[in-house]
Structure 1
Amino acid sequence: MDIDWTALGQVFGVSLLVTVSIVGLFTFGIVGSSRKAETQPDGTVAATGSPSLPARIGAYACYGLCAAAVAYGLYLIVA
């Protein structure tokens, strides 16, 4: 039995890169769609207001790219 270590290393590298990219995109989506935290006069922190329109559009774009990457992965598995 022979193992092609170069191919195994390439698969590992690409898998790591894609995984980190998808997690990063999803994280940006969460940050873009979350409310701002503001410090109240009594010292507590409360989430107030809603995200701006460009932040929401960017968050939805990140979610869309994540969904597209997952759909493409499923396509590669099925095809």
Structure 2
Amino acid sequence: MKIDWVALGSVFGVSLVATVALVGLFTVGIVGLTKQEAAQQAGGSGLLARSGAYACFALCAAAVSYGIYLIVA
């Protein structure tokens, strides 16, 4: 049995980058919702923060859906 170390390293690297990016994007969405609540308490609308948070969550859902598509297909 021969292990293709280059391919294994490539898969590991892509998986690591994708995981960090997805977690970071979700974290930005959570921070956006927090900023929206703080803006509402200060008397503002917080519309930009909420829109940005929803966009981050939508991108996370799209990335997860694409990953599931790649596994199933």
Query: Which bin holds the TM-score, normalised by the shorter protein?
Result: 0.7 to 0.9
* Aligned partner letter, 1:2: K
Task: Give structure 1 stretches of 5+ with no counterpart.
Answer: 37-47
- Say how many residue pairs are matched: 68
Rounded Cα–Cα distance in structure 1 between residues aligned with 2:50 and 2:28:
11
> Could you tell me which residue of structure 1 aligns to residue 24 of structure 2?
24
> Could you tell me which residue of structure 2 aligns to residue 68 of structure 1?
62
Rounded Cα–Cα distance in structure 2 between residues aligned with 1:19 and 1:52:
29
Give the TM-score of the pair, scaled to structure 2.
0.87
Residue 32 of structure 1 contacts residue 51 of structure 1 at CA under 8 Å; is this kept in 2?
no
Q: Deviations over 1:5-42 (max 9, x none)?
A: 00000000000000000000000000001122xxxxxx
Rounded Cα–Cα distance in structure 2 between residues aligned with 1:32 and 1:51:
13
Which structure shows the higher helix fraction?
Answer: 2
When residues 66 and 33 of structure 1 are mapped into structure 2, their CA distance, relative to the original with a 3 A threshold, is same
| Regions of 4+ moved over 2 Å | none
Residue 29 of structure 1 contacts residue 60 of structure 1 at CA under 8 Å; is this kept in 2?
yes
Supply the RMSD in Å over aligned alpha carbons.
Answer: 1.5
Bigger radius of gyration, 1 or 2?
1
Q: Deviations over 1:24-72 (max 9, x none)?
A: 0000000001122xxxxxxxxxxx7276111111000000000000000
